[in-house]
Amino acid sequence: MNKDRNKTGRTLCAWLLGSAGFMAFAVGAVEKPLTSLKNYQVNTPQMMSSGLPDAAHFETFKSLGVTRVIDLIPGDRNEEQTLVSDLGMDYHNIQVEWENPTVANFVDYVAFMESPAQQGVTLTHCKLNWRGAVFTYLYRVIRLQENEAAARQDMLAIWQPNDTWQHFIEKVKQHYQAESFAG
For 135-144, what is each residue's pLDDT tens digit?
999 999 999 9
Helix residue ranges, H only, the chain: 2-31, 55-63, 78-86, 103-113, 130-142, 148-158, 163-182
Give the pLDDT mean for 44-66: 97
Check pLDDT > 70 for residue 30: no
Q: What is the value of pTM for the model shown?
A: 0.81
Residues 25 and 97 placed together within one structural domain of the fold:
no
Residues 57 and 126 placed together within one structural domain of the fold:
yes
Domain count, the chain: 2
Residues 69 and 112 placed together within one structural domain of the fold:
yes
The DSSP code for 45 is T
State which H helix or E strand residue 48 sits in.
strand 47-50
Q: Please list, in sequence order, all residues whose beta carbon lies within 8 angstroms of the beta carbon of residue 147, skipping any fewer than 6 positions away.
A: none
Residues 71 and 105 placed together within one structural domain of the fold:
yes
Residues 113 and 129 placed together within one structural domain of the fold:
yes
Residues 42 and 28 placed together within one structural domain of the fold:
no
Residues 149 and 64 placed together within one structural domain of the fold:
yes
The DSSP code for 34 is G
Banded model confidence at residue 182, pLDDT cuts 50, 70, 90:
low
Mean pLDDT score across all residues of the chain: 86
Residues 44 and 30 placed together within one structural domain of the fold:
no
Neighbours of 181 (CB within 10 A): 7
**Domain containing 124 — which CATH number?**
3.90.190.10
SS3 183: coil
Bridge pairing between strands 121-125 and 66-71: parallel
Q: Which domain holds residue 23?
A: 1-36
Residues 69 and 81 placed together within one structural domain of the fold:
yes
Residues 80 and 22 placed together within one structural domain of the fold:
no
Residues 4 and 68 placed together within one structural domain of the fold:
no
State which H helix or E strand residue 89 sits in.
none
Residues 107 and 148 placed together within one structural domain of the fold:
yes
